[in-house]
Structure 1
């Protein structure tokens, strides 16, 4: 069994660190603090860090193909232009609901999740947004919409609604997904599946909230690797850095009475595997 090293990329005290994403065009790792209303940038080659404050709780940030960022915000999806100007792509405030995780599909569409602040079952959604602002609700009746990712050939989509303790898989047919079925399950007491990423071998890496670990599942759903982490609330993971070999992990402090000193920091597992290039949002 391989042993993995764990390093601190950015020591921080994010309330709810989430959503690591490698911005290939700028050679930086983007991540957010949902409840802290902050978008972080980190250049591993120089150590340079940036922080931008948002007006609302921010569930995800992704690079745009034409430059700038797309933000999954409390009241909808917004665009930041390269000059810093902000505009709404889709504005749909719902009392008691906020944005959560999001991912960009191989075709450049944004799959954006929502959830209720009280995590009430059925209060969240998963929607597909194109660059012109067209929105389609793909899933309703979701509790905590979380990790979303695609197989290397683009024929499968993986998805997590955290309270189910499952990673589900769909068949992809153009912009549509069908045939939802369980792919893998996290056993009682091992935490809740949160964010995910898919590597070049088609294996699915899953961060475990209240599990203090990362799991890797082979394409047939077999758990073949477990990496124990020092912080209990591991929220999401993404490959980044030169050659997409390093696995970055976000963590959270929210709700912890006596948080670990690294809770809320951005961690990294060097040379964890081979990541896949992630598309930018086509908008």
Structure 2
């Protein structure tokens, strides 16, 4: 196992709950959200250009759409933003006390969107597959804090995190169905809670550890082979971006911290960390 440092500041920000970094290849920019700030941020590392867009509600995740615009996992469902900022609901499913959380786009262009209760009650969340036409199929009912989701390079395996379980699960998928689910990794007590994840071209899974001040890389058989140590206590998720998808971007949070590190809430980057997979935009 290797330990790595060398993390740098990409964007200084004071996000309450930064989350969901996603590389947009068409726009050559990174997209991420401040969930509790109801903001979608973008960053072009080549030019340094940034944008910030206010959303209708708390935004758990934002992903690029085929063509232009964004699909956003909001408090009350799945919203679509056109390139000019016009908003419409694709799925409107408000549940009192519940909000959207992490989400990911599958290789077939469907959005797999998680929810959770604000009080993080067990069984109050879901993982739902949203087809490009808006058809919603609940894949995992009764989760607590639906978080990291990603696919193996060949698209046959899905990795998934329900944070309070302290596990990274691996699922065999067949289109819109999960046909098998089993634990891949258990995070030991005291190391934090698994949050967001990304998968690289080697099929390894990079996991952000909330309250663990680290990103961990696990091989496809669950072996820990790399730890990226961070100055901030609450990393939330990670994704590859930049030229050649070589740089690992890391979102972070300030919420709940009495004395947050000065970089808490900022976007961090580990240059030349590995090789990321090319993302797929939402098909709707």
SS in 1 for 2:216: strand
2:193 aligned residue: 192
Separation in structure 1 between the aligned mates of residue 86 and residue 259 of structure 2, nearest angstrom: 39
1:249 aligned residue: 250
Q: Give me the CA root mean square deviation.
A: 0.7
1:206 aligned residue: 207
Distance change in 2, residues 1:118/1:176 (3 Å):
same
Moved over 6 A (4+): none
2:173 aligned residue: 172
2:34 aligned residue: 33
1:157 aligned residue: 158
2:80 aligned residue: 79
| Cα distance, 1:46 vs structure 2 | 0.6
Separation in structure 2 between the aligned mates of residue 172 and residue 147 of structure 1, nearest angstrom: 16
| Cα distance, 1:55 vs structure 2 | 1.8
Separation in structure 1 between the aligned mates of residue 193 and residue 182 of structure 2, nearest angstrom: 18
Separation in structure 2 between the aligned mates of residue 205 and residue 132 of structure 1, nearest angstrom: 31
SS in 2 for 1:67: coil
Superposed CA deviations along residues 139-184 of structure 1, whole A, max 9, x for unmatched, are 1110000000000011100000000000001101122112110000
Separation in structure 1 between the aligned mates of residue 93 and residue 176 of structure 2, nearest angstrom: 22
Separation in structure 2 between the aligned mates of residue 261 and residue 4 of structure 1, nearest angstrom: 18
Separation in structure 1 between the aligned mates of residue 136 and residue 230 of structure 2, nearest angstrom: 37
2:109 aligned residue: 108
Unmatched 5+ stretches in structure 1:
none
**Corresponding position: 1:228 with 2:203:** no
**Corresponding position: 1:130 with 2:170:** no
Contact between 2:30 and 2:241, CA under 8 Å: does it hold in 1?
Answer: yes
Number of positions where the alignment pairs a residue of Structure 1 with one of Structure 2: 283
| Cα distance, 1:2 vs structure 2 | 6.1
Contact between 1:4 and 1:272, CA under 8 Å: does it hold in 2?
Answer: no
SS in 2 for 1:163: helix
Separation in structure 2 between the aligned mates of residue 231 and residue 198 of structure 1, nearest angstrom: 22
Separation in structure 2 between the aligned mates of residue 129 and residue 154 of structure 1, nearest angstrom: 17
1:51 aligned residue: 52
SS in 1 for 2:244: helix
Contact between 1:65 and 1:282, CA under 8 Å: does it hold in 2?
Answer: yes
Separation in structure 1 between the aligned mates of residue 156 and residue 229 of structure 2, nearest angstrom: 31
SS in 2 for 1:243: helix
Contact between 2:97 and 2:117, CA under 8 Å: does it hold in 1?
Answer: yes
Please report the TM-score for the alignment, with normalisation by the length of structure 2.
Answer: 0.99
Superposed CA deviations along residues 187-235 of structure 1, whole A, max 9, x for unmatched, are 0000000000000000000000000000000010001111110000000
| Cα distance, 1:66 vs structure 2 | 2.0
Separation in structure 2 between the aligned mates of residue 225 and residue 92 of structure 1, nearest angstrom: 40
| Cα distance, 1:4 vs structure 2 | 3.8
